[in-house]
């Protein structure tokens, strides 16, 4: 009987942990380019292409570079230009938001290295 309770407790804990993890199909916004881990020229502006899943409740998107808001885009499929970025590694994210600028889903993030 104790073994059955242990298995139940483990299954419950796993479902709670995994339930909080975003799955790829839950992503509302996708960064189309550049790819995660790409190297970019530090002397050139970063061009980022994104797309919001059709049917999503997003009104617009916000671009973040190193956790600082860098731009707002009102198209649900489009591009941002940012930078040029200083040499080094940078975290770049796109967040889908509603009319009140409240995030409605997980951010899509990549890391790029400017050199």
Is residue 41, in this structure, part of any structural domain at all?
yes
Is residue 12, in this structure, part of any structural domain at all?
no
- CA pair distance 56, 16, nearest whole angstrom: 25
Q: What is the strand order of the sheet 108-114 is part of?
A: 39-40, 108-114, 88-97, 60-65, 68-73
In tens, the pLDDT along 45-101 reads: 999 999 999 888 899 999 999 999 999 999 999 999 998 999 999 999 999 999 999
Is residue 3, in this structure, part of any structural domain at all?
no
pLDDT band at 19 (very low <50, low <70, confident <90, very high): very low
Query: How many domains does the chain divide into?
Result: 1
Predicted model pTM: 0.75
| Domain span at 96 | 25-114
Closest by CA to 92, choosing from 60, 61, 67, 58, is 67
CATH of the domain at 73: 2.60.40.10
Is residue 99, in this structure, part of any structural domain at all?
yes
In tens, the pLDDT along 53-63 reads: 988 889 999 99
Give the three-class secondary structure for 7.
helix
Is residue 53, in this structure, part of any structural domain at all?
yes
Is residue 51, in this structure, part of any structural domain at all?
yes
Is residue 6, in this structure, part of any structural domain at all?
no
Is residue 45, in this structure, part of any structural domain at all?
yes
């Amino acid at each position: 009987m104790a073994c059955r309770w242990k298995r139940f407790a483990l299954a419950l804990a796993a479902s709670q942990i995994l339930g909080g993890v975003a799955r790829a199909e839950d992503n509302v916004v996708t960064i189309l380019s550049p790819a995660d881990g790409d190297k970019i020229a530090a002397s050139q502006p970063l061009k980022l292409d994104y797309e919001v899943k059709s049917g999503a409740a997003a009104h617009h998107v916000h671009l973040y570079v190193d956790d600082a808001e860098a731009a707002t885009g009102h198209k649900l499929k489009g591009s941002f230009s940012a930078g040029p970025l200083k040499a080094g590694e940078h975290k770049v994210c796109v967040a889908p938001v509603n009319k009140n600028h409240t995030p409605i889903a997980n951010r899509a993030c990549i890391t790029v290295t400017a050199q």
